[in-house]
Amino acid sequence: MFGTPIILAPIAGPGTPELTAAVCDAGGFGFLASPYSAPEKIHADVARIRSLTKKPFGINLFVQPELPPADDAMLERAHERLRPYLRELGIDTSEIARPTNVYAAQIEAVIEEKPAVFSFTFGIPSVDILARFRKAGIATMGTATTVEEARALEEAGVDCICAQGAEAGGHRGTFIGDAREGAVGTMSLVPLVVDVVKIPVIAAGGIADARSVRAVLALGAVAASIGTAFLRAHEAGTSAPYRERLANASSSDTVLTKAFSGRYARGIANRFTREMEHESNIAPTPYQNALTTELRKVSAQQGNREFLSLWAGQSFPMAREASAAEIIAQLRA
């Protein structure tokens, strides 16, 4: 289906059209994550990829048909909790940032652009939307963190499944049940999913070198979805303080935190994740994401790693600074 066992996972933030294209040109299959992109941005990013490579690629979105109801008091409390950090970084705290929902327009943009594959996380698009992708000749890949989610995706008619183990960096794709309790590791999840679905399974989580690529193929996956190993790629948009922290892997500890986006995601701990660890005033996604957008942006600009989302999988000490082509050569060694 992908014609290669090496897939660049959709990595929002560090991902760039340049990285996606470089992976495709080096014989991998690249995804671009566009979870918060307006349709114009999706069109521009796809145009950029196509200017760099003739190879097929994929686009990834969050399934977010509508914003959850906004509770103003709760948003104010979540904003209030962030105020000292915003002030510390010199950010105007007077306005509460609110998200807009562009999901329907994103879907139109992706169908119009006809990438080879459309992948998604946090749920299942509607029957109508999946039918439109099928009609457009775009393959679909859903993300499952449990056997139950894999079954639901297959029943909905997706073409393949990304089985995301607990080791994976960034957001846990969980859409049934709790994303943290009982998070299943790649070694257990992949064969369990392979045994219950008939469609191809792509493994994600903890795959960062040639050994782990071989391991997930032995588990029955058709390919390995790899994000963390590309975080220090020359073509990635990873910020300087984020790169520095990845390079300094004296401790391999990562944490699952809701503090940045309102949803559990795995990254390297910093002051923000530690101080927010037991915080209850965190808005649900995508509100919390909007509330922390400026904080993360300015933190990166100031070279300050303490308020950045340092998404990383548990194998992050293996991430090397190199070109995407060199990283792919190592993954195949």
Please identify, using beta-carbon distances, which residue of 70 and 247 lies nearer to its own copies. Answer: 247
* Minimum separation from the CB atom of position 182 to its own copies (A): 5
Please identify, using beta-carbon distances, which residue of 53 and 212 lies nearer to its own copies. Answer: 212
* Minimum separation from the CB atom of position 165 to its own copies (A): 6
Q: What is the spatial distance between Cα 125 and Cα 166, in angstroms, rounded to a whole number?
A: 23
Q: What is the spatial distance between Cα 26 and Cα 331, in angstroms, rounded to a whole number?
A: 12
Name the residue among 172, 176, 222 with its Cα closest to residue 198. Answer: 222
Task: Give the three-class secondary structure for 233.
Answer: strand
* Minimum separation from the CB atom of position 225 to its own copies (A): 12
Please identify, using beta-carbon distances, which residue of 34 and 314 lies nearer to its own copies. Answer: 314
Backbone angles phi, psi at 268, to 5 degrees: -80, 135
* Minimum separation from the CB atom of position 314 to its own copies (A): 4
Q: What is the spatial distance between Cα 224 and Cα 246, in angstroms, rounded to a whole number?
A: 21
Residues at the interface with its own copies (CB under 8 A): 146-148, 165-167, 177, 181-182, 184-189, 191-192, 205-209, 211-212, 214-216, 218-220, 251-255, 313-315, 317-318
Q: What is the dihedral of CA 209, 266, 289, 246, to 10 degrees?
A: -60
| Lookup result for tokens 């775009």 | 138
Please identify, using beta-carbon distances, which residue of 187 and 329 lies nearer to its own copies. Answer: 187
Q: What is the dihedral of CA 107, 110, 114, 119, to 10 degrees?
A: -80
Please identify, using beta-carbon distances, which residue of 121 and 314 lies nearer to its own copies. Answer: 314
Please identify, using beta-carbon distances, which residue of 104 and 176 lies nearer to its own copies. Answer: 176
- Strands of the sheet containing 265-268, edge to edge, are 170-171, 265-268, 254-257
Q: What is the spatial distance between Cα 327 and Cα 238, in angstroms, rounded to a whole number?
A: 16
Name the residue among 164, 127, 171 with its Cα closest to residue 36. Answer: 171
Please identify, using beta-carbon distances, which residue of 297 and 320 lies nearer to its own copies. Answer: 320
* Minimum separation from the CB atom of position 280 to its own copies (A): 14
* Minimum separation from the CB atom of position 177 to its own copies (A): 8
| Lookup result for tokens 């649900």 | 284
Q: What is the spatial distance between Cα 50 and Cα 48, in angstroms, rounded to a whole number?
A: 5
* Minimum separation from the CB atom of position 236 to its own copies (A): 20
Backbone angles phi, psi at 40, to 5 degrees: -60, -40
Q: What is the spatial distance between Cα 81 and Cα 186, in angstroms, rounded to a whole number?
A: 35
Please identify, using beta-carbon distances, which residue of 4 and 314 lies nearer to its own copies. Answer: 314
* Minimum separation from the CB atom of position 312 to its own copies (A): 11
